[in-house]
Amino acid sequence: MILYMSSVLYSAVLALAAVTDISTEIIITVCGLTCTFYCFLGGLKAVLWSDVFQGILMFMYIIIVYAFGITETGGVGEVIRRAEAGERIQFFDTTFDLTKRYTFWSVVTRGLSAGIGMYGTNQLEVQRTLSMSTCQKAQLALRWSVVPVVFLFLSCSLFGVILYSVFYMCDPVKAESELTKYDQ
């Protein structure tokens, strides 16, 4: 859990450090102390409300990026054309070829194993589930949580296709820009 939380914190810090002149160490300290403080004061209730807030922000920003990305590329047709040209859209390839990046079976297998790992063994999810007052409420909450998770997965897949179509001819590190590392 320590490695997971540190990577989550560091990814947010990288984003903030890329757009501000504040040092990475200061951002890590401020973000870490802020999260620790509100979790300490609010407990699991604060964590759940921050999850709700984060979920709303995620969907809101995905929609904003959809709008900008589709506008930038010249419409939905151009997004689809670029994605097809780059072989990014291939639905229901049911072959059992293990050398292909994505097939129907590899996506289903990875999705099920990731879902079972996330909902069944992840400490964060188990704590949230055990905080429910009854077993029936916990089961109902887990069942209903599948809907937004599937919607988020599909939204992020479309998000990736749109981003690919915007940047399909671009390598920001090789271009003449201020970016010097691939993690910026």
pLDDT, tens digit, 9 for 90 and up, residues 17-57 = 888 889 899 999 999 999 889 888 888 888 888 888 988 99
Domain-embedded: residue 69: no
Treating both helix axes as pointing N-terminal to C-terminal, what angle do 24-73 and 76-85 enclose, rounded to 10 degrees?
110
Treating both helix axes as pointing N-terminal to C-terminal, what angle do 104-121 and 135-166 enclose, rounded to 10 degrees?
140
Domain-embedded: residue 80: yes
**How many CB atoms are closer than 10 A to CB 46?**
15
Domain-embedded: residue 149: yes
Q: Which residue range forms the structural domain that includes residue 144?
A: 74-174
Domain-embedded: residue 102: yes
Using a cut of 0.75, tell me whether the model's pTM lies above it.
Answer: no
Domain-embedded: residue 161: yes
Domain-embedded: residue 136: yes
pLDDT, tens digit, 9 for 90 and up, residues 111-170 = 888 888 887 788 888 888 888 889 999 899 888 988 888 888 888 889 889 988 988 887
DSSP conformation letters of 104-137: HHHHHHHHHHHHHHHHHH-HHHHHHHHTSSSHHH
Helix (H) or strand (E) holding 13: helix 2-19
